[in-house]
Amino acid sequence: MTDLQQIERSLTEEIKAHEAGLPWAPAKRTPAAACNRQQIVVRLAVRTKRLAPDLEFVHYSDKLSTLEAKIDAEKEARHAGYPIIGYVIDVEKA
């Protein structure tokens, strides 16, 4: 048996072993949604009109950065019908 035939035979054996699912096959990864990621809770003071009293708007963000979470919260508040955003009340990790 030549070297080339030995290589071919060992490769075919490894391929068959991989297809059979032997223990040295790589483990399956868990999906990203199943991982326990921390959420950032952003509380904004919002108003519908200029002289209206402040209302508290709470937004839960999956972003890693607090700055990105604030920006997403402001976008969501405007989309929810609060055009005036007074200030950020609180940002905390839940």
Q: pLDDT digit string (tens) for 15-61?
A: 777 676 655 544 455 455 555 668 999 999 999 988 889 999 999 99
**How big is the CA angle at 62 (ends 59 and 68), to the nearest 5 degrees?**
75
Distance CA 58, CA 39 (A): 12
**Residue 7 forms part of a structural domain:** no
**Residue 9 forms part of a structural domain:** no
User: What range defines the domain where residue 58 resides?
Assistant: 29-93
pLDDT of 69 over the 90 cut? yes
Overall number of domains in the chain: 1
Residue 92 vs residues 3, 14, 27, 63, 85: alpha-carbon distances, Å: 64, 51, 35, 12, 18
**Residue 20 forms part of a structural domain:** no
**Residue 34 forms part of a structural domain:** yes
pLDDT at 31: 54
Instruction: Give tens-digit pLDDT for 72-81.
Output: 999 999 999 9
**Residue 39 forms part of a structural domain:** yes
pLDDT of 71 over the 50 cut? yes
**Residue 5 forms part of a structural domain:** no
**Residue 13 forms part of a structural domain:** no
Which of 52, 83, 57 has the alpha carbon at shortest distance from 70? 57
**Residue 89 forms part of a structural domain:** yes
pLDDT of 67 over the 50 cut? yes
